[in-house]
Amino acid sequence: MKAQRIEGTVALVTGANRGIGRALTEALLARGAKRVYATARDPKALNALRDKRLVALRLDVTDADQLRAVGEAASDVELVVSNAGMGLAGGITDATTLDQARSQMEVNYFGPLQLFQLLAPALAKNGGGAVVAINSAAGLTNFPLMATYSASKAALHSLTQAARVLLRMQGTSVFGVYPGPVDTDMSRGLSIPKASPLDVANAVLDGIEAGLEDIFPDSFARDFGRQFEASPKASERQFASMATATLTGAAAGV
């Protein structure tokens, strides 16, 4: 896997207005990126990130017209970070399950797929560069309390594996990132230890510069990654046990 230098690079980050995306944007600027295209559904949400190297762009990753406009604006991109995502709690028998599943697949799978399609030619023209898919440990092993979210991230994991092979022929490196719980809006309701978004962002950039194709950017993720590599079934049992304990505690009023 070819490493990607951060200093002097031209980067694009989707979902840059909060959480991991915002932390990645700040970390890229701190490490000397030449330019960062930061996207959000509402670009005004990026106003606090005052830096002459930052270019705020409107992007809903489910909107094909907005995706094309971003592709045209960021034609000099060298590092694409697909971070925008949607996470909703729920099982498989809830009344809202199908609607939630479709929404999460649109954002978490079809959004990155269209982004890769649009920007792969620009990356090739600019020397190859790199693509980074911000996934989740739940993309490797389904977390039953977020069943359809996990399934959408599993689809992204599969896409990342394919992109790694297919884009390698044009000199593009493809990195998959699999964090555990991170202190963001998405995990607000989880009463478990969470990693700092900035710590995760810096670990992601360290992994990119080291050429690590699978990046586990926090302590939970690193432990999980080692267990998953040794025994995917043990990882399934771990997440099943966590979900069962949560459900049992909720039923008991704990």
Q: Where are the domains of the chain?
A: 10-222
Name the catalytic one among 37, 109, 149, 178.
149
CA 160 – CA 162 distance, rounded (Å): 5
- Answer whether 23's CB lies under 8 Å from 43's CB: no
Domain 10-222, architecture per CATH: 3-Layer(aba) Sandwich (3.40)
CA 45 – CA 28 distance, rounded (Å): 18
The pLDDT of residue 251 is above 60: no
pLDDT given for residue 190 in this prediction: 60
Helices (H), the chain: 19-30, 64-73, 97-105, 111-125, 147-168, 197-210, 219-230, 232-251
Q: Is the pTM of this model over 0.95?
A: no
Q: What confidence tens digit (pLDDT) does each residue in 156-184 have?
A: 999 999 999 999 999 999 999 999 998 87
Tell which wins on pLDDT, 193 or 96.
96
Q: What is the mean pLDDT of residues 185-210?
A: 84
Q: What is the mean pLDDT of residues 55-67?
A: 97
Q: What confidence tens digit (pLDDT) does each residue in 103-121 have?
A: 999 999 999 999 999 999 9
Q: What confidence tens digit (pLDDT) does each residue in 34-50 have?
A: 999 999 999 999 988 88
pLDDT given for residue 249 in this prediction: 67
Token pair in block for residue 177: 């990132």
Give the up-direction half-sphere exposure of residue 73: CA atoms within 13 A in the CB hemisphere.
19
Is 149 a known active-site residue? yes
